[in-house]
Chains A and B, each alone.
Chain A
């Protein structure tokens, strides 16, 4: 039980850390650029 308590706080910290690192290194805008374009694959269009 004690381990699980430690694990959830550690995972929460890791999640927030990754988001902040990703945002600081431009991933939030860079890697998600596709989201603002029409994704033809998602729609089942194209080859």
Chain B
């Protein structure tokens, strides 16, 4: 099986595995078992009817927003563990919202390249979102990211639960339609630009990206084999200059550069040393 087919299969299995409480989708209720106390690695809303685990970003906001003065050790430890072990491999293989964007990118429409002058500053957007969600959770005790921005929450929880459960449908208001607008914009963008949410807005990707340079999963360039043809950079959906920055915080470890290299100059894997 080819690398990208294998990746799609893993992404589908990860999305299904994280949302395997099938009765929830029929009854319009959420799973309340003990596995919900464990954080999943990707952006997967804990109010999705099928969710077996908790979203780490939602959990972080909930922990900070409790205003108990306690350091949110459990959630931060989980994020740190996923970050150092996998980095943004989570984005490329385990995140259900990443899978959705990858599938949308396959729709045969002309693909746009965001000009560098616009792309570079927008990339800092995800770090701003990460900073703001932590700051506002502390100040306002509210899950601001979940409430006003997270498209996964509306897609995985809001839309199915309001469709299945009339008591939730009655609560639809301006906030619901604001989030629906955000989701529609992201879905439309993903048809033309690869992974727009991951590139510009995802706080989880911003956090995991910090570990790409120091984590266990590494991409390596064998200088002796590289002829600097630029095929790896051209194949990269995240527009990473692979040869010069193989462990860039932007790299989602999708492996397209590995497929594109005609000289096997790139290798990826877990390295303990």
- A binding-site residues for B, Cβ under 8 Å: 4-5, 7-8, 11-12, 14-23, 25, 27-29, 31-32, 34-36, 38-47
Contact = CB atoms under 8 A, between A and B. Distances in A.
A42 B147 contact: yes
B74 A8 contact: no
B212 to A, nearest CB: 11
B72 A14 contact: no
B45 A45 contact: no
Give chain B's interface secondary structure class. helix
Interface residues of B, number: 58
Contact of B85 (A12, A18, A31, A42): A12
B36 A22 contact: no
Given A43-B176, A45-B171, 15 more contacts: A11-B84, A18-B73, A20-B77, A28-B37, A31-B75, A32-B62, A35-B55, A38-B30, A41-B153, A42-B143, A42-B157, A43-B158, A44-B178, A45-B172, A45-B176
A43 B154 contact: yes
A47 B175 contact: yes
A8 to B, nearest CB: 5
Give chain A's interface secondary structure class. helix
B216 A8 contact: yes
B73 A27 contact: yes
Interface string B129-157: 00000000000001100110010011001
A46 B153 contact: no
